[in-house]
Structure 1
Amino acid sequence: MQSQKYHFCDSYFQYRRNKTVPVKVGNITIGGDSPIRIQSMTTTNTLDTDATVNQSIKIAQAGGELVRITTQGRREAINLKSIKESLTRSGCEVPLVADVHFNPSAADIAAQLIEKVRINPGNFTGGAKKFRQIEADSEEDRAGMDQIRQKLIPFINQCKKHYTAIRIGVNHGSLSDRIMSKYGDTPQGMVESCMEYLRICREEQFNDVVLSIKSSNTRVMVHTVRLLVHRMREENMHFPLHLGVTEAGSGEDGRLKSAVGIGALLIDGIGDTIRVSLTEPPENEIPVAGMLVHYMGEKANHSPIAETNPQHYSPCSYVKRQSHPVMGIGGDNAVAVMSDLRGTEPKNIRFTTPPEIVVCTPDQLNLLPDNLSNAIKLLDHRSCSTDLNQKVAPLCSINDDWHQIHEPAFVEITYPDLTDDNVMRLRTKNNIVLILKSNNLNSTAEQRAFFMAMQNLGLTHPVIIHGHYEDKSSDDFQLKAATDKGLLFLDGYGDGLSLAASQIEPDQVVQTSLGILQASRVRFSKTEFISCPGCGRTLFDIQKTSQQIREKTSHLKGLKIAIMGCIVNGIGEMADADYGYVGAGPGRISLFRNRELIRKSIPEDQAVNELVDLIKSYGDWIDPVE
């Protein structure tokens, strides 16, 4: 087996937890043989002891095993003592994590009072970004490293003395000027930002460290965490990892985005603690995280998957698998959505956004709604009269005589079906679209192995990734499907997505498919909201505001709008956003376009309408269809 350049897990084909050292955090352990821990973060003012305690209790009662609290300055750090004592009196022993950004002295105080402190390398030293260019290995660069040591080592000593754990938490939106000058806003820069701090911890013989690298961009987040694990392995480090997609948003979109990003890493055994960041009350995050952890546990004893050479696999950068087009599927065409309508009453067949492909029966064919007129209709090959003008094509199983059909056809296949005989048949017929199914509990790993094998064989047929779900709950179905299929699209695999869920309305299944593709960043079919969950730094009602902005802009297909509670990570996390709505102070909002400040310190009650006016002024507005 050829060695893999970025070997971030023990196997691409067998689920195994990544081996990490155990880190004690109060009454729990993260990493080692411990279960994956679930956590959330309060949104209250840290100086409001009662509100913060009450919200912490709600998180713990929902199943949260750690509670993070924003700690802007010394006053907030000192008040952690009162919060901790009040929680203890109430019988709640949940460990607390102080979230510190620009104030090392606040971190020093917090380390003496609670179980864990999160620091952000991009903000811990040097203060606010000045966006200056710093030459590598210059005097200024070396002075920056000296400054890190001067502030980090005393903090480490406090943590040693008080048995306090550290989370080194890098955010895509808050890299230091030093790192940005050397690497730009890249995965390599994010990883190096983390490794600089981690090497100092090791030099100081301090091992109670948890790491996180987060982004609102699921592709960046997944590729960067993989790269971090690879780099740690190169330097014989095995620290536990905290996973999360920042600014995931709210509702269905936030859940799908979190499941895609977190699930893609959990499937490969990476992750020791997770947080699902939703713009909702923090206790709402816990059941979603719990579902992800539980679903991953079900995959542990899956059937063996035949290994293949991963020589073409690019786990730390996006490389799209090359396929040739068949009937508008594959090649440079947009990733398609397929819907199986067999067994669905004609009166229930209606779509907000029509899929590109439908599987139906001859009886359904003439009863399909008008907005499916351009869709490819697949009929069982035994009852199909191929009509390319009407976009009717045969659907075959791999064991049928599909290689003798002259017209384009769709063929269902699994990885074990990729036998020498079937490979020979595929080589003789290029106008085939494959529908990739899996009966393995770990369908993701088996389907990934199929794509690796296809690349090794030089086969470029377009492939629609299929998933089958029996869930009656739409929430369960969406989380499972996003967890299973997101990784494949993040890795550049798949020309289409087909989800079969007989207990869920067909339109909702299609909307879920579109949501997964958008969360995986391969097809944008609606407005993309990059929305933070809020915290004690947020000085406006971010949940209410987020809803107002969604109501006014959710029809702007493909536009990216960031809704950020404050400037700590706001400006940086807006890297992918077209427009940004960012808290600037009590009752004040600033508006950005492509990271550029356009309107400063607007009264909050005017800001949503001002955002709409800003979008209109740059020609990105269309009126909603009534």
Structure 2
Amino acid sequence: MDLFNYSRRETSEVNIGDIALGGKNPIRIQSMTNTSTQDTEACVEQVKRIINAGGDYVRLTTQGVKEAENLKNINIALRAQGYMNPLVADIHFIPKVADVAALYAEKVRINPGNYLDAPRTFKQVNYTDEEYAQELEKIRERLVTFLNICKENNTAIRIGVNHGSLSDRIMTRYGDTPEGMVESCMEFLRICVAENFTNVAISIKASNTVVMVRTVRLLVEIMKKEGMEFPLHLGVTEAGDGEDGRIKSALGIGALLADGYGDTVRVSLSEEPEAEIPVAKKLVDYVAQRAKHPYIPGLEAKEFNYLSPIRRQTVEVKNIGGENVPVVISDRMDNTFETNPQFIPDYIYAARELPAQLEEGPDYILDADVWETEKVSFEKAGKNCWPAFNHTQLLAIGNCPAELKFLFMPYMALTDEVIACLKVHPEIVLLSQSNHPNRVGEHRASVHQLMVEGVQNPVVIFQHYSENEAEDLQVKAAADMGALILDGLCDGIFLHNQGDLSHATIDATAFGILQAGRVRTSKTEYISCPGCGRTLFSLQSTIARVKAATSHLKGLKIGIMGCIVNGPGEMADADYGYVGAGRGKISLYKRKECIEKNIPEAEAVDKLIALIKANGDYYSEEESL
């Protein structure tokens, strides 16, 4: 894998009905129904909407044998109406259901965490090496039966590992780690290979983007060592809805797509399934544009660890770099005043003139050639103001007395002269620029060159767009920033958009990207699933009610999960959890501990708020200002 130059990872091809996956095929798009799989008509209509929106594959939950058997009726009804796209059965807990589903679906997803292992209890269970081996043999014997059925019916499988449903057996041996997730997958893959069954795709997901990206990277490395090239299904589980779900998904998936990983994508939103497809298509199409781009001659720093990156070591300049959270720089070059009090930038780039109205909170940045005169006006207004230079103004930088200086710097201008200047001026913060088709690669190359040269000046990533729709900016900017944040190369973000979007929208996007990358928290985080046939309450209306009551609780993590498949596990690092326990029944959690079970849905949101209050984590909106 080349850090700086984009190309897709080479994989084996998997036959899934008439739409093959991996190999030389395009990246496929998919979604999942949230209707009852026993309701043939409802499933058929929803599958059609997903396909009409551009979905290649559609997954349906199959809790039991009845649901698996009804896949036959759904399949027949769709084919009769001319819809030939493959159907995928989603199986948890009952291996027999997978056997039946393999007769009627073109692909079956099984979860190693609950295929044969007992459901997760979060309890420490000690296994001797002999006992561990015996458990693996039980899995092998049962899995081989399923694989033989798939061979007979030309059914593909997906081995789908979820962070939230690792078995106690894996947790005991490996802990709640990327290594444990990878081993959970590899146990099943090794059995498939031994049985000469290669019609296999893989997913390995988490709601935490850091865990998700590191785990997929590690999985690819381990597969390569063992001679495997299976295609990858990418997704961020329980990403949520609205802008948060879009940003979180684009950041995690985009970070992997940027490195050429991924053969099919599912953007999991707590919305109608067909709403996921346009977002996924925008993301895939945007990254695919990098193919055959001009070569970037980057040099990887020796200290960089791709499989387990840490934040690059930098000097601290004011509140930038060092141990500080990444900053947000915004611009007001159109001389307008508009901000969201929840997302106030740390710095505002004003270019060449004083804005008509100054915002409370941020420092200001002016172009260096007007800074000396204009800064007087800022100082009179009680504002700090700092100069911004370009790479042709190195002499002026040396003569400038400012304690903080910004330097706009494209990769190809990062010469020996500039490096020498940076080494004697630690007060300079670089604003990394790129007009390259693969801007991720060029930004990476810039920061890696600094690391190679031993330069520790902070770097803020400057990204420019021309978007008129908020979703387009959210998807593209998050995809561009994902690898840079998760690689530890980002001390700040500066989004500049020349399209028809408000500054408040742009600022919220910047803060949302940093939160999705787990490097700066600015609002409540919601870990919510997209819903499926297992969900027995109105997920979308519930999320809206929970958000209305808690969105001002900055820094709190709240999980809203339709069922127990991934619920307690995927929201294990959430502060509070709201999980479907049965038809119209909810269980409430404080982290991993279930506090109250089987609450009537009508009472559950109020009881969740009461639980938050009882633990001292609730405050009023007025107190949050």
Give the TM interval when normalised to the shorter protein.
Answer: over 0.9
Q: Determine the structure 2 residue equivalent to 1:463.
A: 459
2:7 is aligned with what amino acid? Answer: R
SS at match of 1:575: coil
Q: Determine the structure 1 residue equivalent to 2:505.
A: 508
Is the 1:134–1:141 Cα contact (8 Å) retained in structure 2? no
Alignment of 1:338-353 (within 5 A): 338-342=329-333, 344-348=334-338, 352-353=342-343
1:448 aligns with 2:439: no
Is the 2:3–2:300 Cα contact (8 Å) retained in structure 1? no
Counterpart Cα distance in 2 of 1:105 and 1:570: 23
Q: Per-residue deviation at 1:239?
A: 0.3
Q: Determine the structure 2 residue equivalent to 1:405.
A: 400
1:486 aligns with 2:482: yes
1:219 is aligned with what amino acid? Answer: V
2:531 is aligned with what amino acid? Answer: G
Q: Per-residue deviation at 1:390?
A: 3.2
Is the 1:134–1:140 Cα contact (8 Å) retained in structure 2? no
1:472 aligns with 2:465: no
Alignment of 1:207-606 (within 5 A): 207-342=198-333, 344-348=334-338, 352-361=342-351, 363-365=353-355, 367-369=357-359, 371=360, 374-385=361-372, 390-400=383-393, 401-407=396-402, 408-503=404-499, 504-606=501-603
Counterpart Cα distance in 1 of 2:295 and 2:140: 48
Name the CA shift for 1:176/1:349 in 2 (closer, same or farther; >3 Å).
closer
Deviations 1:11-33 (Å, cap 9, x if unpaired)?
A: 11111100000001001110000
Deviations 1:80-104 (Å, cap 9, x if unpaired)?
A: 1111111111111110000001010
Deviations 1:151-203 (Å, cap 9, x if unpaired)?
A: 10000000011100000000001111221111101000000000000000000
User: Runs of 5+ in structure 2 lacking a partner?
Assistant: none
1:382 is aligned with what amino acid? Answer: D
Q: Per-residue deviation at 1:351?
A: 5.4
1:47 aligns with 2:38: yes
Counterpart Cα distance in 2 of 1:231 and 1:177: 22
Name the CA shift for 1:398/1:136 in 2 (closer, same or farther; >3 Å).
farther
Q: Per-residue deviation at 1:352?
A: 4.7
Deviations 1:90-146 (Å, cap 9, x if unpaired)?
A: 111110000001010000011111200000000000232244444455332122101
Q: How well do the aligned residues superpose, as a CA RMSD in angstroms?
A: 1.5
Counterpart Cα distance in 1 of 2:483 and 2:130: 42
1:592 is aligned with what amino acid? Answer: Y
Counterpart Cα distance in 1 of 2:339 and 2:97: 58
Q: State TM-score, norm by structure 2.
A: 0.96
Deviations 1:481-507 (Å, cap 9, x if unpaired)?
A: 010012111111111100000222111
2:367 is aligned with what amino acid? Answer: D
Counterpart Cα distance in 1 of 2:233 and 2:59: 13
1:608 aligns with 2:605: yes
Counterpart Cα distance in 2 of 1:597 and 1:616: 17
Q: Per-residue deviation at 1:361?
A: 4.7
Tell me which moved more, 135-144 or 490-499. 135-144
Counterpart Cα distance in 1 of 2:240 and 2:437: 29
> How many residues get paired?
613
Q: Per-residue deviation at 1:34?
A: 0.1
Q: Determine the structure 2 residue equivalent to 1:5.
A: none
SS at match of 1:106: helix
SS at match of 2:566: helix
2:401 is aligned with what amino acid? Answer: H
Is the 2:298–2:449 Cα contact (8 Å) retained in structure 1? no
Alignment of 1:123-162 (within 5 A): 123-135=114-126, 137-162=128-153
2:363 is aligned with what amino acid? Answer: I
Is the 2:312–2:489 Cα contact (8 Å) retained in structure 1? yes
Q: Per-residue deviation at 1:316?
A: 2.3
Is the 1:589–1:607 Cα contact (8 Å) retained in structure 2? yes
Counterpart Cα distance in 2 of 1:137 and 1:404: 69
SS at match of 1:151: helix
1:549 is aligned with what amino acid? Answer: V
Name the CA shift for 1:350/1:47 in 2 (closer, same or farther; >3 Å).
closer
2:343 is aligned with what amino acid? Answer: T
Counterpart Cα distance in 1 of 2:259 and 2:603: 46
Counterpart Cα distance in 2 of 1:404 and 1:429: 11
Deviations 1:491-547 (Å, cap 9, x if unpaired)?
A: 111111000002221111110000000111100100000000010111101111011
Q: Determine the structure 1 residue equivalent to 2:73.
A: 82
Counterpart Cα distance in 2 of 1:477 and 1:27: 34
Is the 2:268–2:530 Cα contact (8 Å) retained in structure 1? yes
Name the CA shift for 1:582/1:318 in 2 (closer, same or farther; >3 Å).
farther
Counterpart Cα distance in 2 of 1:180 and 1:587: 31
SS at match of 1:345: coil
Tell me which moved more, 387-396 or 49-58. 387-396
Name the CA shift for 1:391/1:56 in 2 (closer, same or farther; >3 Å).
same
Deviations 1:210-230 (Å, cap 9, x if unpaired)?
A: 000000001100110010000
1:391 is aligned with what amino acid? Answer: N
SS at match of 2:571: helix
Deviations 1:392-449 (Å, cap 9, x if unpaired)?
A: 1111001112122122211111221221111111111111111111111111111112
Q: Determine the structure 2 residue equivalent to 1:622.
A: 619
Q: Per-residue deviation at 1:568?
A: 0.8
Deviations 1:298-326 (Å, cap 9, x if unpaired)?
A: 11132211120332222222411111111
Is the 2:4–2:440 Cα contact (8 Å) retained in structure 1? no
Tell me which moved more, 606-615 or 403-412. 403-412
Q: State TM-score, norm by structure 1.
A: 0.96
Alignment of 1:171-186 (within 5 A): 171-186=162-177
